[in-house]
């Protein structure tokens, strides 16, 4: 079992992860994290000397869980089409959170891109992770040349739909959007 210290660190990362998503990175204070994680004020600095470090730990954590998720999909889902549709599915399944706080990956990148270039390049890794996984699926589907472009297009579609659904608080738009993406994917698959 993990040591108490490891569990404390994980609690901090979990709290920060949630708060960065819900309130955004810049609007989340150490006090917020400390309260959410139920860790005494000063103790948090034992684990993370700066807020940047904390964000990097959060991103690392997201990278790890995402990597795990994608490799499990790879294992358990047979066809590239089904895998791509599984990706679309989590968008649909996450409707309430997306309407509330947007895409965790997209909104973080949009926020950090503004004027925190160093942190942004960390956040970008998350996009890279998805992008490469998606490209792999498109390659297997029969589009090795277009794989990168198709993966970017899929990501762009997702991002756009989420932004608009959030602005208009419209779950229906999200639903129709994901269905439309699936149609597009199925056509690609059919004519591969």
Partner DNA sequence: TCGTGGTTTGGATTATAGTCCTAAATTTTT
Partner DNA sequence: AAAAATTTAGGACTATAATCCAAACCACGA
C-beta of 5 vs 65, nearer to DNA = 5
Binding region for DNA (CB under 7 A) out of 33-41, 69-77, 84-92, 125-133 = 33-41
Instruction: Work out whether 8 is an interface residue with DNA (CB under 7 A).
Output: yes
The residue within the footprint of DNA, chosen from 19, 20, 37, 46 (CB under 7 A), is 46
C-beta of 51 vs 82, nearer to a second copy = 51
Q: How far apart are CA 182 and CA 80, in angstroms?
A: 13
In the complex, the smallest distance separating the C-beta of residue 56 from DNA, rounded to whole angstroms, is 12
CB 127 within 8 A of CB 105: yes
Nearest to 58 by CA among 110, 123, 102: 123
Nearest to 46 by CA among 97, 15, 6, 82: 6
Q: How far apart are CA 57 and CA 146, in angstroms?
A: 34
Residues 6+ apart with CB under 8 A from 12: 33, 37, 39, 44, 47, 48, 54
Instruction: Work out whether 158 is an interface residue with a second copy (CB under 8 A).
Output: yes
CB 127 within 8 A of CB 154: no
In the complex, the smallest distance separating the C-beta of residue 3 from DNA, rounded to whole angstroms, is 6
Site for a second copy in 126-155 (CB under 8 A): 127, 149, 152, 155
C-beta of 60 vs 114, nearer to a second copy = 114
Instruction: Work out whether 157 is an interface residue with a second copy (CB under 8 A).
Output: yes
Residues 6+ apart with CB under 8 A from 171: 95, 99, 165
In the complex, the smallest distance separating the C-beta of residue 116 from a second copy, rounded to whole angstroms, is 8
Binding residues (CB under 8 A) for a second copy: these are: 22-24, 26-27, 101-102, 106-107, 109-111, 113-115, 124, 127, 149, 152, 155-161, 163-164, 166-168, 170, 173, 176-177
């Amino acid at each position: 079992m993990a040591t108490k210290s490891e569990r404390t660190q994980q609690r901090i990362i979990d709290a920060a992860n949630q708060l960065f998503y819900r309130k955004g990175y810049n609007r989340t204070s150490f006090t917020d994290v400390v309260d959410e994680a139920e860790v005494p004020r000063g103790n948090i600095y034992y684990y993370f000397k700066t807020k940047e470090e904390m964000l990097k730990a959060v991103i690392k954590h997201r990278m790890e869980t995402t990597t795990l998720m994608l490799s499990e999909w790879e294992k358990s889902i047979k066809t590239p089409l089904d895998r791509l549709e599984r990706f679309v599915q989590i968008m649909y399944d996450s409707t309430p959170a997306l309407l509330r706080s947007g895409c965790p990956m997209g909104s973080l990148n949009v926020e950090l891109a503004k004027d925190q270039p160093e942190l942004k390049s960390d956040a970008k890794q998350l996009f890279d992770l998805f992008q490469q996984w998606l490209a792999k699926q498109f390659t297997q589907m029969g589009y090795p040349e277009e794989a990168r472009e198709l993966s970017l297009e899929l990501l762009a579609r997702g991002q756009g739909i989420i932004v608009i659904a959030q602005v208009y608080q419209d779950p229906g738009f999200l639903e129709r959007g994901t269905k439309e993406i699936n149609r597009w994917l199925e056509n690609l698959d059919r004519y591969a």
